[in-house]
Structure 1
Amino acid sequence: MATGSTTRALSSLIQLPQGFARKRVLLVGDLVADRYIYGQTDRVSREAPVLIVRHESSEVKLGGGANVAANVRALSGQVTAVGALGVDEMGRALRQLFSAAGIRVNAAGARGIQTETKTRILAGGMSTTRQQMLRVDRGQRGPLPPRLRKTLARLVEKAAQDADAVVVSDYGAGVVGEEVRGVLKRLAGEGMPVCVDSRYTLASFAGVTVCKPNEPELEVLTGRPLRTEADLREAGHAALKRLGCRALLVTRGRHGMALFDERGGVDMIPVHGAKEAVDVTGAGDTVIATFALALAAGASFGEAARLANVAGSLVVQKQGTATVSREELLGELRGAR
């Protein structure tokens, strides 16, 4: 639990999540099916030096940008997801999951487009914990067709008319191409909060409101190794200047976060809580979802970052792709009083 001045700062944020239900967020990004196959293994194959997994069960969860949308909805925000889905088994599964979660989806598709899918095989012995043995990825290779990219740009422009904030989840699957980025930059220029989490092409989002790299992504963006806190500060200011955004939120794992603003300020936010992370899968999705929803609810960048820091600390206590509910977030904030 937080103590002292940090405790007072967190308890002062309780009013923000109470207004989340009235806010509308537009999610733009790569909609991924996280498929889990669970099994049991007790022997090695005679065909090759590999373990044989006897299938027990399987499930599909909202992953990638779809998990960001799921986190906004779990926090009680209203959310519309714009992306690409194939006319295939995983595309149908994601549509059903969106519907069950109360998420509106405007997905473009075309013949030959596959739904981005990450299949994880987890197995263990009779009395052991299942471990991930293998991950198989499938989906679009190369850029999306020009007609589809233009369709996505039109869908973003239309959906943004009813949004209080936009969150971008770019996993490199091609949804957030040049056409969509042009719309996003224009929206940011008109005052719409546009928060971007891009794994590979952050430099192409210059001009949006907020960018959220982790430390390795910041190193790639700036070409600077981050060995010390001084290195981090220099790289953060350099990245903010290069991107021309209003704020830069750097996630640092067990070291917390660093928030840089356009006035030259930097806020080093320590990690919340003392528990060790159980699973960091999708933690960045929870952070960017909470941050964007908080901005939509009127939070400052600093307030939004602290709420996101608390939400991130809660989701890493859960196994696999997960979300944090508004009630969980409020309970943690009340405990900080």
Structure 2
Amino acid sequence: MLPNFENARVLVVGDIMLDRYWFGEVSRISPEAPVPVVHVSRTEERPGGAANVARNAAALGARVSLLSVAGKDEAGDSLARLLHDENVNVVLHRDAGLDTTIKLRVIGRQQQLLRIDFETQPSHEVLLNKLADFEKMLAGADVVILSDYGKGGLTHIRQMIELANATHKPVLVDPKGDDYARYHGATLLTPNRGEFREVAGSWKSEEELAKKAQQLRLDLNLQALLVTRSEEGMTLYREAGMVHEHALAREVYDVSGAGDTVIATLGVMLASDSTMPEAVRVANLAAGIVVGKLGTAVVSCDELITELNK
């Protein structure tokens, strides 16, 4: 059985983006260059980045607030509308000098053929205003999720972690880059296998991996470190020891956004007073479900319950 998520209050902060999909058929190669010609027949827009984290938490029934920055443009308007439709309380700081990040994916025969990114960095003044709002919104949250996509929206992440710690709110971080010192003092860090290797170096055994993970946890003063390991599942490292969850055996269509689903599920579970190992178990199930869907997607409570019953 799952906890009742209706009273779970989750605050998501981070880099948001608009995921655009152009779907079409591929029947020939271009005469101009050796590339496929895609006849686009359908388009979709979905919230991406931290916005995808928020919609995943909302899809589980939690009460979700999202704080972020977007441009004063059509893509920013689309994101605000999409998130409102998915029951996310959105506080967007709109920056006239910022182009809302867009990831355009061209899909042919259920396979991604091309991705085009549009992005700029937000201004310092807008980020300072966002930090002031963060302090106000903390009071209404049980758990804070900081979703770092390296787009500049979490420039003040150290202050955010300090503020969350001062109010005794668990803070979960999905990291980016190799400067993990900025995440010092967080409750839980969720790097994937490649991100962890970039920071800690490679390993040749489970024992060596555990040693590196526990050392990083101690260096950053984390309560826990969760390394998501794709087909190998995910491993939680705490002072109490290690907990490993094996990956579900299923056909994988798309891993984009799987990390968003994992940290959103962890946040909702912890906001519902679940233990860390319980939260990791359910997040692992959610990850197994979402990689079977195309593009950034969400997982419902009914889907989780079905997997738990199996």
Shared fold per TM-score greater than 0.5: yes
Residue in structure 1 matching 2:270, options 275, 291, 295:
295
Deviation string 1:151-186 (CA, Å, 9 cap, x unpaired) is: 1101211111101101111000111112x4302222
CA pair 44-269 structure 1, distance change in 2 beyond 3 A = closer
1:24 corresponds in structure 2 to: 9
Cα offset, 1:226, TM superposition: 2.6
Task: For 1:213, give the aligned amino acid.
Answer: P
SS of the residue corresponding to residue 177 of structure 1 reads coil
Q: Does 1:331 align with 2:310?
A: no
Alignment of 1:269-280 (within 5 A): 269-271=245-247, 273-280=248-255
Q: Quote the Cα distance in structure 2 between the aligned partners of 1:36 and 1:259.
A: 34
1:194 corresponds in structure 2 to: 171
Q: Does 1:182 align with 2:135?
A: no
CA RMSD of aligned residues (A): 1.5
SS of the residue corresponding to residue 39 of structure 1 reads strand
Q: Quote the Cα distance in structure 2 between the aligned partners of 1:185 and 1:275.
A: 40
Q: Quote the Cα distance in structure 2 between the aligned partners of 1:47 and 1:307.
A: 49
Task: For 1:162, give the aligned amino acid.
Answer: G
Q: Quote the Cα distance in structure 2 between the aligned partners of 1:166 and 1:329.
A: 22
Cα offset, 1:190, TM superposition: 3.2
2:242 corresponds in structure 1 to: 266
CA pair 189-215 structure 1, distance change in 2 beyond 3 A = farther
Q: Does 1:133 align with 2:113?
A: yes
Q: Contact between 1:37 and 1:119, CA under 8 Å: does it hold in 2?
A: yes
Cα offset, 1:264, TM superposition: 5.0
Q: Quote the Cα distance in structure 2 between the aligned partners of 1:246 and 1:189.
A: 15
CA pair 32-228 structure 1, distance change in 2 beyond 3 A = same
Q: Contact between 2:103 and 2:117, CA under 8 Å: does it hold in 1?
A: yes
Residue in structure 2 matching 1:207, options 152, 169, 185:
185
SS of the residue corresponding to residue 305 of structure 2 reads helix
CA pair 321-163 structure 1, distance change in 2 beyond 3 A = same
CA pair 49-270 structure 1, distance change in 2 beyond 3 A = closer
Q: Quote the Cα distance in structure 2 between the aligned partners of 1:162 and 1:320.
A: 31
Q: Contact between 1:218 and 1:235, CA under 8 Å: does it hold in 2?
A: no
- Structure 2: 5+ residue runs without aligned partners? none
2:222 corresponds in structure 1 to: 245
CA pair 102-241 structure 1, distance change in 2 beyond 3 A = same
Q: Does 1:151 align with 2:123?
A: no
Q: Contact between 1:164 and 1:193, CA under 8 Å: does it hold in 2?
A: yes
1:165 corresponds in structure 2 to: 143
1:39 corresponds in structure 2 to: 24
Q: Contact between 1:86 and 1:110, CA under 8 Å: does it hold in 2?
A: yes
SS of the residue corresponding to residue 226 of structure 1 reads coil
Q: Contact between 1:189 and 1:208, CA under 8 Å: does it hold in 2?
A: no
Q: Quote the Cα distance in structure 2 between the aligned partners of 1:279 and 1:55.
A: 20
Report sequence identity in percent.
36
Q: Quote the Cα distance in structure 2 between the aligned partners of 1:279 and 1:48.
A: 27
Q: Contact between 1:218 and 1:239, CA under 8 Å: does it hold in 2?
A: no
Task: For 2:174, give the aligned amino acid.
Answer: D
1:285 corresponds in structure 2 to: 260
- Structure 1: 5+ residue runs without aligned partners? 1-13, 124-128
Cα offset, 1:269, TM superposition: 2.0
SS of the residue corresponding to residue 140 of structure 1 reads coil
Where does structure 1 differ by over 4 angstroms across 4 or more consecutive aligned residues? none
Q: Quote the Cα distance in structure 2 between the aligned partners of 1:313 and 1:50.
A: 33
Q: Quote the Cα distance in structure 1 between the aligned partners of 2:149 and 2:233.
A: 22
2:69 corresponds in structure 1 to: 84
Q: Quote the Cα distance in structure 2 between the aligned partners of 1:300 and 1:283.
A: 21
Q: Quote the Cα distance in structure 2 between the aligned partners of 1:188 and 1:196.
A: 13
Task: For 2:250, give the aligned amino acid.
Answer: K
Q: Contact between 2:2 and 2:305, CA under 8 Å: does it hold in 1?
A: no
Q: Contact between 1:80 and 1:106, CA under 8 Å: does it hold in 2?
A: yes
Q: Quote the Cα distance in structure 2 between the aligned partners of 1:324 and 1:58.
A: 22
Deviation string 1:10-31 (CA, Å, 9 cap, x unpaired) is: xxxx142xx2111110000111
Cα offset, 1:50, TM superposition: 2.6
Cα offset, 1:242, TM superposition: 1.3
SS of the residue corresponding to residue 107 of structure 2 reads strand
1:100 corresponds in structure 2 to: 85
Cα offset, 1:189, TM superposition: 4.0
Deviation string 1:11-55 (CA, Å, 9 cap, x unpaired) is: xxx142xx2111110000111111001122323333333332222
Q: Contact between 2:97 and 2:123, CA under 8 Å: does it hold in 1?
A: no
Cα offset, 1:145, TM superposition: 1.8
Q: Quote the Cα distance in structure 2 between the aligned partners of 1:139 and 1:15.
A: 39
The two structures have a TM-score, normalised by structure 2, of 0.95
Task: For 1:267, give the aligned amino acid.
Answer: V
